[in-house]
Amino acid sequence: MRGTDEPDAALRRATQAVEAGARLIEWRIDALAEEPDALAAIKALVRRCPAPCIVTCRVCGEGGDYGGTEDHRAEIFEALVRADHPPRYIDIELAAYQRDTRLRRAISAALKDGERARDAHTSLILSVHDFDRRPADLLQRIEAMTNEPACSVIKVAWQARSLRDNLEALDLLAQRAKPMIALCMGRFGLMSRVLAPKFGGLLTFTTDRSAEMTAPGQPTIDELQNVYRFQRIGPPTKVYGVIGWPVEHSLGPSIHNAGFEAVEHASAYLPMAIPPQYEHFKATVGAMLDHQHLGFRGASVTSPHKEHLLRFVADRGGRIDALVERIGAANTLVVSDEGFIECFNTDAPAAREALCAGMGIERSALAGVRIAVLGAGGVARAVVAGLVEYGATVVVFNRSPERAEALVASHKAATGGRGKVAVGKPDAIAGDRFDVFINCTPIGMAGGPAADESPLPDDVPLDENVTVFDTVYMPQRTPLIQQAQAHGARAISGLDMYLRQAAMQFERWTGCQAPTEAFAAALKNQ
């Protein structure tokens, strides 16, 4: 809670946060500390707080807004610790505590006096923050906090450069000599925040407003409680996720965590952003698999890593499903308790069933249907394989004709030349007649490179006899879906395919029938 709020408004927010599940409130008094009569206002916030609280007055150099003197800050902290209603914790940066003798002596004396004078006393959090990278001397700083007698809690937070930073933060928690908070910041840091209880972290930080974070990458209380089921995470929790670039748009965490809750599976499903290159995929997934205590048991794998997953499993000597071999791409990683890995493709059957359901036909009726597939990546490979198998005629269009040619060649090689599949010229897509158009590119995807565009040119003939199927599911009404509906064509959202393939993944991981009602409820809440 920011001290810039009016006290009554700040306390209302704190009460709402506690009602939503918060167990501890942090008062960030950076700006308030420099106001006239600041101490009285801060004491009132602490006294009236609906839960135990941390008081933090963060200096500018470590991500805060306090620009006053250290003497003034020391006076406020000392007075709070000695007050009749002291905060449960005060948070002071290690660097300031080591540098300022006045601050160190005043806080140490006040903490001892408070502990002797009353049952409810204040504990000291010493903290280290780096908003650029992992500090080179991180371990030395942790040792200094460990050896400081007045320090009750060690806190370290740094900007993660990859998911692998989380693994070190979690290891630090597991090896702690004192109660510890170890968090990674930024888009890669969510894992350290959500999985803190699994490794014995004292707490994690969240926000009641998505637009107001005290550090980059904080989840909201609602996300932490209702999506990630934070209160249920502990040492037995198994870890799953969605791997892609980007993944922030994914509905996977909402539906799979709701599914785990429904079948009482002790697991957590997280977004796992991995940059596009295979080297990043190999290093990151390999590190998660090899981590002794993470409990990584599988992942949904989306663009651009579906072909990388197949390569990775082959390199590690895992099992590759026959359909994956034929498609040349996988979207599901399964890891046994013994560490054996397998990959599957649930896109192909899910896309086929979603298309047939949308058109109101049986699979056998696909024979002779002319289908234009847009794209040549992992999704396109799966769609082509699933449709050609049932006799559809498929033409692949891609901005890079070479990738389309490679897809067709690999499909023919894998099937011995069976099936009707060919490469189309991108500038000729409007000159032929197709019964179905299927978008397998990220064009139109929220958060993608062309979120406001349609992959189909305006001059492509669309009418009530044509079906348009967009495998993009966020948003549901993509620009392509809107284009199809405007011309009277049948439009199939990617959400149906997504839910079908997710259900198949869930069953592979858990051995339980997918709780589709829980999936649907989670989507409605989302």
Helices 494-510, 252-263: crossing angle, 10 deg rounding: 40
Sign of CA dihedral 356, 303, 237, 215: negative
- Other CB atoms within 10 A of residue 459 CB: 8
pLDDT at 3 over 70: no
Which of 198, 238, 306, 524 is an active site residue?
306
The predicted pLDDT at position 356 comes to: 97
The predicted pLDDT at position 215 comes to: 72
* HSE value, Cβ hemisphere, 13 Å, CA-based, for 431: 6
| Span 367-378, average pLDDT | 94
Q: Which residue has the tokens 């847009």?
A: 374
Q: Give the predicted TM-score (pTM) of the model.
A: 0.91
Q: Rounded CA gap, 423 and 307, in Å?
A: 20
What is the C-alpha R_g of the chain?
A: 27
Q: In this predicted model, what pLDDT tens digit does every residue of 348-360 receive, in sequence order?
A: 999 999 999 999 9
Lowest-confidence segment of 130-139, 240-249, 350-359, 418-427 by average pLDDT? 418-427
Q: Rounded CA gap, 328 and 518, in Å?
A: 32
Domain residue spans of the chain = 7-219, 238-345+500-525, 348-492
Do residues 381 and 329 touch, judged by C-beta distance below 8 A?
A: yes
* HSE value, Cβ hemisphere, 13 Å, CA-based, for 522: 24
Q: Rounded CA gap, 248 and 353, in Å?
A: 27
pLDDT at 44 over 90: yes
Residue 178 falls in the annotated catalytic set: no
Instruction: Check for a shared fold between 238-345+500-525 and 348-492.
Output: yes
CATH, domain 7-219, list 3.40.50.80, 3.50.50.60, 3.20.20.70, 1.10.3720.10: 3.20.20.70
Q: Rounded CA gap, 413 and 292, in Å?
A: 40
Q: In this predicted model, what pLDDT tens digit does every residue of 447-459 receive, in sequence order?
A: 888 999 999 999 9
Q: Which fold has domain 238-345+500-525?
A: Rossmann fold (3.40.50)
Residues 6+ apart with CB under 8 A from 36: none
| Span 313-330, average pLDDT | 95
Selection from 368, 62, 76 nearest residue 214 by Cα: 62
| Span 199-209, average pLDDT | 94
| Structure-token pair, residue 401 | 């004709």
Does the domain at residues 348-492 carry the CATH identifier 2.60.40.10?
no
* H/E element, 145: helix 138-147
Residues 6+ apart with CB under 8 A from 12: none
The CA-CA-CA angle for residues 44, 49, 50, to 5°, reads: 155
